[in-house]
Structure 1
Amino acid sequence: MKVTIVMGGYEFGMEVGPQEPILEMKRRIQNLLGVPMASQSLSIFGWELIDGLDMEDYPIISDGTKIDLSIQSNHPFHQQQQPSNTKFQITVKFSARKINMEVDPTDTVRSLKEKIHIIDGTPIKRMALFFSGNELEEEHQSLSHYGLREFSQVIVYLKTMSRAMADPPSRKISFLVQTSSSLLNAATIPLEISDLSTVNDLIQSLITRKILPQDDYIFIHKQRIMRESCSLRWHGVENGECLYVFKGTVSSG
């Protein structure tokens, strides 16, 4: 399919495949425009496309979709070359696979966990991150505080919990559902529901209450497509957050 890359008043087309990594798109843009990959930010509807994901992880992107390209401030796109960027690559190791991820030394342990959750779906509360044999325990601390640098390897373990800790009682959470411009004129809908409700429960509730018409929907939380069979708690939805809903289905490939 062909998407359009938009940067200010300048735009150009790009052919992409469903399994093309976001990083590969950035690499092609670097070759075309001379903008370093680390200085690029690609987004759609205000959500950044995450390094480590593929085009098929964003089913809202289809033929003709416009993707916004922004360049980090002070990057002299039309002038002299910028000093080297502070961002660097690390390896995140799971039990059965590894992924490469771009981070900033000022990123916190918490923000790293959120990025891992977006890519892998691992519940944030169950993550234990280790670097050089030491756990990254303080979530507010920066990655530079723990000495992470280029090509560092962070290992992800799942915390063992008692059943009481793993399955606390259900609770009501209040959040917002933001519809796309094609739904209800981009309405913002306040909701309160049990955190053990699944995304499918949420969809059926909205349809039953005639807030949404009968159709197929995709919900997005923190730039990640939500799974219909999983609960809001599993997705890490908290009070005051916003979920985004679009018409459509997630194709399996």
Structure 2
Amino acid sequence: MKIIINTKLCKFTIDVSTQEPILEIKNKIQGLLGIPAHSQTLTVWDWELIDGLDLEDYPLISDGTNINLSTTSAKMKITVKFSARKMEVEAEQSDTVGRLREKIHMMERTPMRRMALLFNGAEMEDDLRSLREYGVGGGGEVVVLMKAMGEATSRRVAVVVQTSASLMDGARIPVEVKDSSRVGEVREMLVERKLLPLDEYILIHKQRIMREDFSLRWHGVETGDVLYVFKGSVSRAGI
């Protein structure tokens, strides 16, 4: 398929496949414009496309989608260390701890509320503080420890269900549900209450396709979050 890359000075089209890694798209742009891949930021509807993911991880992107390209010199690579493995994450020093937590969740599907992020042996507890404030720079190593779930008490969260423009003219539906509810149960509830027409749907939270058999709590859904709804179904293994 073809996607349209928009910059401040020009617009051009490139051919891509749905399985193409975001980093490979940046490499193509580097070949065309000479902009280093590590200096590129690609966004669609204000969502940043993450290097560790593929285009098929973003079901909003289809043939003819416009993707915005901006450049920055502040990009850096940091190492994220789990108990048995490591991975590299691209970030900016101005990114908040919460934004780093979201990136790790998107790449690894690690429950955000179970993550403890440590740098130089101290936990980065304030999600609103930047990586710069915690002293995290390029080449730094952030350790991820998983907190025990315990017997977490179910609580209610108030979210907004946002439909696509082609579905109910882009309606915004306020909903209050238990955070222990599975995604499939939430979808069925929306249909049963006639808030959505009978059909198959994909739910997306923080740029990630939500897994039908996992709870809202597992996905890190909090009060005030937006769940995006699109017609369709997912059959790809691992989602």
| TM-score w.r.t. length of structure 2 | 0.87
Q: Please say if residues 4 and 12 of structure 1, whose CA atoms lie closer than 8 Å, have aligned partners that are also in contact.
A: yes
Name 1:127's counterpart in structure 2.
Answer: 115
Name 2:74's counterpart in structure 1.
Answer: 86
Name 1:180's counterpart in structure 2.
Answer: 164
> SS state of the match for residue 233, structure 1?
coil
Q: Deviations along 1:164-217, whole A, 9 cap, x unmatched?
A: 3xx22x222211111101100111111111111111111111111222122211
**Change in CA separation of 1:97 and 1:247 when aligned onto 2, cut-off 3 Å:** farther
Letter aligned with residue 70 of structure 2? I
Structure 2: 5+ residue stretches without partners: none
**Change in CA separation of 1:87 and 1:183 when aligned onto 2, cut-off 3 Å:** same
Q: Using the alignment, how far apart are the partners of 1:33 and 1:61 within structure 2?
A: 22
Name 1:67's counterpart in structure 2.
Answer: 66
Is 2:181 the partner of 1:193?
no
After TM superposition, give the deviation of residue 95 of structure 1 in Å.
Answer: 3.6
Q: Using the alignment, how far apart are the partners of 1:138 and 1:238 within structure 2?
A: 16
Q: Please say if residues 59 and 249 of structure 1, whose CA atoms lie closer than 8 Å, have aligned partners that are also in contact.
A: no
List, as ranges, runs of 4+ consecutive aligned residues in structure 1 with deviation greater than 4 Å: none
**Change in CA separation of 1:235 and 1:86 when aligned onto 2, cut-off 3 Å:** same
Q: Please say if residues 59 and 250 of structure 1, whose CA atoms lie closer than 8 Å, have aligned partners that are also in contact.
A: no
Which of 146, 171, 175 is equivalent to 2:155? 171
Is 2:141 the partner of 1:153?
yes
Is 2:233 the partner of 1:245?
no
- Count how many residue pairs are aligned between Structure 1 and Structure 2: 237
After TM superposition, give the deviation of residue 12 of structure 1 in Å.
Answer: 2.5
Q: Using the alignment, how far apart are the partners of 1:4 and 1:100 within structure 2?
A: 28
Name 1:37's counterpart in structure 2.
Answer: 37
**Change in CA separation of 1:65 and 1:215 when aligned onto 2, cut-off 3 Å:** farther
Is 2:200 the partner of 1:212?
no
Quote the RMSD (CA, aligned, Å): 2.3
After TM superposition, give the deviation of residue 133 of structure 1 in Å.
Answer: 4.1
Deviates more, 1:175-184 or 1:117-126: 117-126
Letter aligned with residue 119 of structure 1? M
**Change in CA separation of 1:17 and 1:98 when aligned onto 2, cut-off 3 Å:** farther
| TM-score w.r.t. length of structure 1 | 0.83
Structure 1: 5+ residue stretches without partners: 76-84
> SS state of the match for residue 228, structure 1?
coil
Deviates more, 1:121-130 or 1:131-140: 131-140
Q: Deviations along 1:28-51, whole A, 9 cap, x unmatched?
A: 112211233344332333422222
Name 1:4's counterpart in structure 2.
Answer: 4
After TM superposition, give the deviation of residue 96 of structure 1 in Å.
Answer: 4.3
**Change in CA separation of 1:219 and 1:9 when aligned onto 2, cut-off 3 Å:** farther
**Change in CA separation of 1:19 and 1:186 when aligned onto 2, cut-off 3 Å:** same
**Change in CA separation of 1:226 and 1:89 when aligned onto 2, cut-off 3 Å:** same
Same amino acid, percent of matched pairs: 51
After TM superposition, give the deviation of residue 138 of structure 1 in Å.
Answer: 4.4
Deviates more, 1:179-188 or 1:132-141: 132-141
Q: Please say if residues 40 and 69 of structure 1, whose CA atoms lie closer than 8 Å, have aligned partners that are also in contact.
A: no
> SS state of the match for residue 217, structure 2?
helix
Name 1:55's counterpart in structure 2.
Answer: 55
Name 1:81's counterpart in structure 2.
Answer: none
Letter aligned with residue 191 of structure 2? I
